[in-house]
């Protein structure tokens, strides 16, 4: 079983991420029976079918997709994935904040893709609370990345008040 | 100036520890070079032509004497006793050892310094007017605004991996000395009709491959909304800026693609969700920060000082220096002094450890222990009593810091170029040196008068060549160094991109071409015209014509040196 970081701890995890292979389309791909994060396109194309099935599902967003198209559907998901195709692609930080701060999404937001120790702190600040650390990395070591800083200047999801509203005079 | 409290200090200390861990993991093989690259860049560490280069942040160009002494010590201990000031008011060390960089950052942290976000695709060091706080033409001191922005941008969790680098500059004076229109975001501090302080927001300016003058995206933004508005603007850029082509990834490309109206509209829409939220800047916080920049304990002095005037009358060399290097101050009896880092034979912007200590001593003795770095790569003492100027000049001269060429032809802005920078197409320091040799007569240079000449070793344009009256750009043609020349650029309120005069030149030709351009000016000028005024009146043609006149005769046989140099590029 694979492991992820969730709520600051390492836990076992059974969720799979469905990606469309070459030649597959959102309309025709087989829906997995095991708990899976589905591509946004699959969700948009087959909402009714997915809702009628018994399988556990969530949706994952590619870095360029943004949360807008999901805004009305968030109640259906206990889990949303945000992808980092490369760790230097920072769009999913904005996606995560929007999900939390604009759309008040309260379920799990999981970072998937190129998820590495040195970005975990920023991800957490943006409202991501589960981290599928890249499989070849030491997840125990990566956990330390959540604690790189004990204080921060800006308002963000983990601390909605900027430092200047909290600093003792 | 701003001093850290325990929280600021703790954040910087934790940054050092984080970086130390990253370097250790890289050396241990658990963090690959590719994974380390963006991390080290956000700590100022480049891997250059000859090895690492460390870019140390000097937020908005302000330094305390003790910090400059620490830089001197670091340059001696970890480098070759020399530092280089950049057009972003930072300092680069060109010869540190990779393994020692965590130590250097640790040393810097002891004097409230760091190398945070001096590179990488993130919000970079904020820059401003080197005369901030003392300029007679300023509306208010821009430094508190800069410090507010520094804290907001430091480890901003959402904007650490932008499409590309993001540079912000602030100006609060009548004359823009911070080149705000050539920045990703330029902020001009103004008052609205009701007298409230805020900023006019320019976006999408930038030099580089596609030089663009920033456009106004908001006419007036009240101070309290500064951070929430920038959060919105950066979010639009982070989400929609291009990431498929690094040459099209700067915000200027997005602003142009959308059109400034549509870009502004998207920012306003995003902002409507963030406005008046917790990020709204409080007056208390602004005042807390502004208190750090309270004016020093100035004496009450007459505007003029007899000894000073006497020295000008009796000492021609001093008078020449005063004319170029001494600037007006808003307080009677005081002046600001630019110490030139453009002495003939020195690489522009370079400063030795001994000079750093000398400048620190001058600051302590004569300028309340503080100094500034200018984007023109000089050092400024902002608060010198006029009666001390003669002493300051003598001390500065003893350390080759008093070349009376500020604002003149040899006060060149020049990037490190191909001698040091891995990205360079051509060398720039030897060009500066050759120009210095050609124009070695100070009287002649004074006669030419106000002019800017900037050199960049490649399209990244660190040397701001686009906004110089004469710009020189290194280009690579078939692995040979060539130089493209632009004329007519300007910084300031009338920021203008210079025009390319035509095909590029060999290095050996450049000084003669500069001379040809200068000659057109000297022959055609009216008594009151600066170089740029004559250019604006005549247009590019006469300059172009003269630059290429007799070119075939000038064109040298390809030198052995050129061939040798191309071998390892
Ligand atoms: S302009 Fe080019 S050569 Fe010069 S410092 Fe910048 S990147 Fe290097």
The predicted-structure confidence for B304-352, as pLDDT tens digits, reads as follows 899 999 999 999 999 999 999 999 999 999 999 999 999 998 999 999 9
Same domain as B249, residue B367: no
Distance (angstroms) between ligand 1 centre and the Cα of B192 equals: 39
- B418 and B512, same domain (yes or no): yes
Q: Which domain holds residue B188?
A: 127-293
Looking at the structure, tell me whether residues B268 and B132 fall in a common domain: yes
d(C-alpha B54, C-alpha B106), whole Å = 13
State which H helix or E strand residue B11 sits in: helix B6-28
Q: Which of B288, B349, B377, B327 is nearest to B173 (CA)?
A: B327
- Domain co-membership, B159 together with B279: yes
pLDDT of residue B556: 55
pLDDT of residue A1: 77
Is the C-beta atom of B460 inside 6 A of ligand 1? yes
- Report the distance separating Cα B75 and Cα A75, nearest Å: 58
Cβ pair B232, B201 in contact under 8 A:
no
pLDDT at B51: 85
Residue A100 is classified by DSSP as: I
B466 touches chain A (CB under 8 A): no
- Residues 6 or more apart in contact with residue B539 via CB below 8 angstroms: none
Look at chain B and report how many structural domains it folds into: 4
Interface with A, mutate which of B36, B122, B158 (most A CBs under 10 A): B158
Give φ, ψ of B391 to 5 degrees.
-65, -45
pLDDT tens profile A98-121: 999 999 999 999 999 999 999 999
Q: What is the rounded average pLDDT of the residues B159-182? A: 96
Does residue B264 have a pLDDT over 80? Answer: yes
B92 CB under 6 A from ligand 1?
A: no
Q: What is the mean pLDDT of residues A9-22?
A: 95
Which residues from A are below 8 Å from B223, CB to CB? none
Residues β-bridged to residue B202: B186, B216
pLDDT of residue B424: 93
Domain limits for position A8: 3-168
Alpha carbons A28 and A15: distance in angstroms, whole number: 21
pLDDT at A96: 98
- Asked if A60 and A80 touch (Cβ cutoff 8 Å), the reply is yes
d(CA B361, CA A144): 44
Interface of A with B in 1-40 (CB under 8 A): none
The number of distinct structural domains making up chain A is: 1
CB distance B22 to ligand 1 below 6 Å: no
B112-138 per-position pLDDT tens digit: 999 999 999 999 999 999 999 999 999
Assess contact for B428 and B416: CB atoms under 8 A.
Answer: yes
Work out the pLDDT band at B568, boundaries 50, 70, 90.
Answer: very low
pLDDT of residue B132: 97
* pLDDT tens column, B349-397: 999 999 999 999 999 999 999 999 999 999 999 999 999 999 999 999 9
In tens, the pLDDT along B447-483 reads 999 999 999 999 999 999 999 999 999 999 888 999 9
Establish whether residue B457 lines the binding site of ligand 1, counting it when its CB lies within 6 angstroms of any ligand atom.
Answer: yes
Mutate to test the pocket of ligand 1, among B50, B207, B349, B415 (most ligand atoms within 8 A of CB): B415
pLDDT of B157 over the 50 cut: yes
For an interface test with A, the pick among B157, B230, B292 (most A C-beta atoms closer than 10 Å) comes out as B157
> Which residue is associated with the tokens 């430094």?
B143
Among A131-140, B43-52, B91-100, B414-423, the range scoring the smallest mean pLDDT is B43-52
Instruction: Please indicate, yes or no, if residue B116 is contained in any of the structural domains.
Output: no
Boundary of a domain, candidates B109, B142, B173: B109
The answer to whether residues B370 and B509 belong to one domain is no
Q: Are residues B48 and B96 in the same domain?
A: yes
Q: What is the reported pLDDT for B422?
A: 87
Environment class of residue B162 by beta-carbon count within 10 Å: exposed (0-12), middle (13-18) or buried (19+)? Answer: buried
Q: What is the per-residue pLDDT for B564?
A: 33
pLDDT recorded at residue B550: 77
Note whether B29 contacts A: Cβ–Cβ < 8 A. Answer: no
pLDDT at B554: 56
Q: What is the pTM of this model?
A: 0.94
Are B424 and B529 members of one domain? yes
């Amino acid at each position: 079983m694979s492991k992820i970081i969730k709520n600051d701890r390492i836990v076992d995890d059974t969720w799979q991420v469905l990606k469309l292979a070459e030649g597959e389309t959102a309309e025709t791909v087989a829906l997995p029976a095991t708990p899976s994060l589905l591509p946004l396109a699959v969700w948009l194309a087959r909402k009714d079918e997915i809702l009628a099935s018994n399988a556990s599902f969530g949706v994952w967003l590619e870095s360029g997709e943004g949360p807008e198209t999901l805004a009305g559907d968030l109640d259906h998901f206990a889990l949303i994935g945000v992808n980092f195709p490369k760790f230097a692609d920072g769009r999913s930080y904005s996606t995560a904040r929007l999900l939390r701060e604009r759309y008040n999404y309260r379920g799990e937001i999981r970072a998937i893709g190129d998820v590495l120790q040195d970005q975990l702190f920023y991800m957490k600040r943006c409202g991501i609370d589960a981290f599928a650390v890249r499989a070849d990395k030491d997840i125990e070591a990566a956990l330390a990345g959540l604690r790189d800083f004990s204080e921060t200047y800006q308002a963000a999801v983990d601390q909605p008040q900027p430092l200047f509203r909290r600093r003792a005079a | 100036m701003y001093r850290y409290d325990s929280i600021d200090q703790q954040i910087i200390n934790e940054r050092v520890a984080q970086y130390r861990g990253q370097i250790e993991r890289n050396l241990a093989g658990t963090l690959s070079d590719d994974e380390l690259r963006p991390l080290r860049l956000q700590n100022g560490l480049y891997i250059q032509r000859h090895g690492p280069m460390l870019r140390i942040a000097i937020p908005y160009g302000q330094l305390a004497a003790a910090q400059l002494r620490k830089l001197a010590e670091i340059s001696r201990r970890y480098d070759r006793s020399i530092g280089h000031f950049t057009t972003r008011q930072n300092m680069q060390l060109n010869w540190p050892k990779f393994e020692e960089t965590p130590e250097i950052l640790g040393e810097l942290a002891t004097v409230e310094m760091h190398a945070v976000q001096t590179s990488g695709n993130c919000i970079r060091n904020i820059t401003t007017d080197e005369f901030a706080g003392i300029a007679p033409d300023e509306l208010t001191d821009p430094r508190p605004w800069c410090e507010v922005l520094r804290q907001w941008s430091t480890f901003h969790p959402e904007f650490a991996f932008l499409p590309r680098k993001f540079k912000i500059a602030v100006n609060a004076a009548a004359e823009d000395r911070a080149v705000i229109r050539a920045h990703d975001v330029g902020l001009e501090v103004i008052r609205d009709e009701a007298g409230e302080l805020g900023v006019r927001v320019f976006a999408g300016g930038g030099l580089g491959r596609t030089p663009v003058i920033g456009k106004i995206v908001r006419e007036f933004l009240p101070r309290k909304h500064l951070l929430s508005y920038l959060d919105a603007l950066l979010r639009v850029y982070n989400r929609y800026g291009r990431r498929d082509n690094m040459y099209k990834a700067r915000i200027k490309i997005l602003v142009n693609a959308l059109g400034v109206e549509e870009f502004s509209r998207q920012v306003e829409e995003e902002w409507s969700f963030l406005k008046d939220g917790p990020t709204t800047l409080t007056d208390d916080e602004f005042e807390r920060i502004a208190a750090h920049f309270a004016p020093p304990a100035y004496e009450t002095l007459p505007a003029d000082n007899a000894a000073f005037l006497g020295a000008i009358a009796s000492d021609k060399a001093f008078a020449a220096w005063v004319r170029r290097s001494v600037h007006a101050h808003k307080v009677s009896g005081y002046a600001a002094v630019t110490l030139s880092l453009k002495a003939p034979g020195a690489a522009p912007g370079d400063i030795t450890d001994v000079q750093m200590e000398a400048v620190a001593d001058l600051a302590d003795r004569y300028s309340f222990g503080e100094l500034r770095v200018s984007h023109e790569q000089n050092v400024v003492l902002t608060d010198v009593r006029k009666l001390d100027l003669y002493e300051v000049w003598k001390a500065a001269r003893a350390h080759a810091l008093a070349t009376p060429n500020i604002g003149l032809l040899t006060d060149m802005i020049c990037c490190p170029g191909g001698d040091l920078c891995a990205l360079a197409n051509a060398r720039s320091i030897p060009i500066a040196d050759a120009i210095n040799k050609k124009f070695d007569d100070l009287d002649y240079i004074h006669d030419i008068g106000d002019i800017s000449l900037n050199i960049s070793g490649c399209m990244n344009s660190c040397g701001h060549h686009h906004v110089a009256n004469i710009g020189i750009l290194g280009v690579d043609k078939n692995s040979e160094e060539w130089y493209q020349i632009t004329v007519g650029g300007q910084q300031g309120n009338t920021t203008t991109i210079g025009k390319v005069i035509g095909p590029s030149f060999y290095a050996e030709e450049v000084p003669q071409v500069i001379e040809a351009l200068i000659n057109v000016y000297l022959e055609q000028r009216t008594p009151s015209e600066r170089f740029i005024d004559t250019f604006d009146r005549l247009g590019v043609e006469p300059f172009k014509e003269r630059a290429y006149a007799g070119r075939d005769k000038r064109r040298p046989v390809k030198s052995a040196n050129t061939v040798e140099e191309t071998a390892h590029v």
